[in-house]
Structure 1
């Protein structure tokens, strides 16, 4: 009997070793795969078993969490949801996360290693911390001024602190309430279908994810390129540009909406928005020079993040001279996000230095201890300081004596540039209204804010669309809010 008992014991020992080896294999080598499996309900349950951290504006949370008593316990809530949807995005138990809810998900959900009290704490204990908070750079008064100014019209506003790159306002209109997507069930799927099928595309973040032809607002970029390349040495001197201007290599003439553009100086061309002068200057700078110039402003950058991804603003790298001429006045295939055009205004306001735009100031633990902070960071030297000084003067002239008078603020130095961008087959679409600007208090060492506004305004009469008429008053309201907050 003893040999049989020994054999049985050895076999049982072998089985035990095999069992332990298999358990170790699962825990050490297959844990990640099993955790991420769609069939593993436990991961989803764990994700929603504690409140999510908050997103803060001006020190106050614009998000929250509520205990539903369901298996997926905590759902996301939003205060002033439509106002801040372009900043927060949504956190949905059904459809996942977008924008800041996505980019800072590890912080908000409590899984980020920097929230742990000790290195590798989460790996050792298999636990997670309470969700941390994300403190944004947005200012409530400016966000509301932009949102109220658009008043439900299709369009967007982006506002920056020129010196630091902080995003002070980020508005897309029409908007939506992200809370309707937070949970599960038919109400959520119905809301999803309704929002995605809406003609106004309320879930599209027009401020950072939609590109538009920038039209005449882009002439600031072309002017910077011409001055930096020394194609223009005296912005007040007459140019040799006829009006209308024959596009190179074609029989097509480019007209002007403004009067007095024949042989106009660069300064006059910016003040009254002459197409001919700016198209001609773009051709004289040349494709290579224009590409270098637009790149310094952020065009053609596929990797810009704020921390959410930003759509690429485009300036074609392979064009004939006639196409280059049109591109140099913000037409042809030239496109830009509102954030990109705010960056253009910001670079001028900041003496040629373009700060990297960012939406998150810092992140903290649930107890308020800062674990990561974002400071000012130079993105590019967009132009020479002397060029920026000349462009500042020209943009001020636009507001004081040109097409941007609707943006003027008593006692404040305001620079701006209007834009009316054609689009559609044979330019048959209702033009987009643009206005880019910056404002500086007398005696202040630096501008308080740079703003870009675009209004699609599909319901308006074509003749009534203009950057000065439709977009400039919105920019003025945002600038006034910025100045008041610093007063």
Structure 2
């Protein structure tokens, strides 16, 4: 009898061990596959079972969470949704997350272990942390000025603080309300289909995800390259620049839309945007010199994040001399995001240093304790400080004497560069209007802001002046706001 009891006990022990092994296999080794199974709704129910953390602009939340009382309980809500959509993105129960809602999802959803006072205990108990907050660098007045300036037109604005890389404005129009994509009802599906089907692409973030031919605004880069390479040593000396300029190895002749460009000095050519001068300068600098300079400004960088990814701006590294000439005036395959062009202007204003642009000042717990913070960092050294100083002079001349006079601001030094970018079959489309600029108050130690504006459906006539007519007033409005904010911060003892 004792023998059978021992056998039964042994069998029970084996079964118990097998049960424990299987439970361990399921709960530890196979847990991720069960968690990620689309049929498992427990994670979704838990994710939306508490309010999502908020995105903050200048101390005010621009997001919220609404209690629906349904199984997926809390839906995302937005304040001034179209205004901040290029910053926040959307958080949709059907279509996922984009932009800050995506890049900072762990903080906003409460999943980041840094939000827990005892992270290890939370791992054991699977307790849910309250969602944290994401504090942005956006200046709400600058954001609104850019948004209102663009109005119903397609375009984008990016504004940066040159000394730090803080993004003060990031606007794309036309825009949309991210709240339309919250929830799970049929209205959300219809909104998704409508927004994706619209010809104007309201969900496209033109400021960071759309690249444009930069046209004459790219001449800032070419001028810097010529100065850095020693091709130009005196901005007031005549250049050896024929008008028209025959593109090397071709019979194509490049002309200008302004007078006085033949053998013009760099200063005059920059003020009045002489294509022939800059095309030849690009060839004289050479492909290696131009590609190195563009890389130092941030072109061809596929790793830039702010914290979400930015489409890389393009300057081809394999060009013949004719293509190099065209690329050096912002044509051929040269393309840039508005953020990239703001970085170029910021490098001129900031002494030649390209600061890493960033959108998040810090992340915090729900009660405001800092989880992580962001500070200035140098991405590249685009040019020597002496070159940057000469470029500041040239950009200032554009506003005081050249095509960008409309951007002048009393009590401040403003530098700018107008431009147009032709496109369409045989350049038949209305040119994109560009204006890049920076501004420094007369009583300030450093520039307050660098701005890039592009207007896709500009109404101005073809020619470089259209950037001054369509885009410059928008940049001016943003710069005025930033100058006022900088003045207020200084008077209050801020930096």
Deviations 1:285-323 (A, max 9, x none): 000000100000000000000001000000001000000
Deviations 1:151-170 (A, max 9, x none): 02100000000000000000
In structure 1, distance between residues paired with 2:461 and 2:275: 22
Give the C-alpha shift of residue 429 in structure 1: 1.9
Equivalent in the alignment of 1:96: 96
CA shift in 2, pair 1:458/1:481, >3 Å: closer
Equivalent in the alignment of 1:209: 209
- What TM-score, normalized by structure 1, do the two folds share? 0.98
Secondary structure of the corresponding residue to residue 208 of structure 2? coil
1:437-448 map, 5 Å: 437-448=437-448
Q: Quick check: 464-473 or 247-256, which moved more?
A: 464-473
Equivalent in the alignment of 1:345: 345
Deviations 1:34-58 (A, max 9, x none): 1111111101111111100000000
Q: Quick check: 39-48 or 457-466, which moved more?
A: 457-466
- What TM-score, normalized by structure 2, do the two folds share? 0.96
Secondary structure of the corresponding residue to residue 486 of structure 1? helix
- Tell me whether 1:286 sits opposite 2:302 in the alignment: no
Q: Quick check: 230-239 or 109-118, which moved more?
A: 109-118
Equivalent in the alignment of 2:62: 62
Equivalent in the alignment of 1:186: 186
Give the C-alpha shift of residue 253 in structure 1: 0.4
Q: CA RMSD in A?
A: 1.3
Q: Quick check: 332-341 or 12-21, which moved more?
A: 12-21
1:63-462 map, 5 Å: 63-457=63-457
Give the C-alpha shift of residue 486 in structure 1: 2.0
Instruction: Give the unaligned 5+ runs of structure 2.
Output: 488-495
Instruction: Give the unaligned 5+ runs of structure 1.
Output: none
In structure 2, distance between residues paired with 1:158 and 1:170: 5
Q: Quick check: 222-231 or 463-472, which moved more?
A: 463-472
CA shift in 2, pair 1:266/1:464, >3 Å: closer
Give the C-alpha shift of residue 128 in structure 1: 2.8
Deviations 1:404-460 (A, max 9, x none): 011111121000000111112221222100000000001211000000000001677
In structure 2, distance between residues paired with 1:400 and 1:225: 24
Deviations 1:307-366 (A, max 9, x none): 010000000010000000000000000000000000000000001111110000000000
Contact 2:226–2:285 (Cα < 8 Å) also in 1 = yes
Contact 1:431–1:465 (Cα < 8 Å) also in 2 = no
Secondary structure of the corresponding residue to residue 241 of structure 1? coil
Contact 1:432–1:465 (Cα < 8 Å) also in 2 = no
Contact 1:271–1:398 (Cα < 8 Å) also in 2 = yes
In structure 1, distance between residues paired with 2:205 and 2:46: 30
Contact 2:162–2:448 (Cα < 8 Å) also in 1 = yes
In structure 2, distance between residues paired with 1:335 and 1:470: 20
In structure 2, distance between residues paired with 1:280 and 1:122: 64
In structure 1, distance between residues paired with 2:157 and 2:2: 87
Secondary structure of the corresponding residue to residue 228 of structure 1? helix
Q: Quick check: 381-390 or 10-19, which moved more?
A: 10-19
Q: Quick check: 469-478 or 405-414, which moved more?
A: 405-414
In structure 1, distance between residues paired with 2:122 and 2:419: 53
Equivalent in the alignment of 1:466: 466
In structure 2, distance between residues paired with 1:316 and 1:265: 27
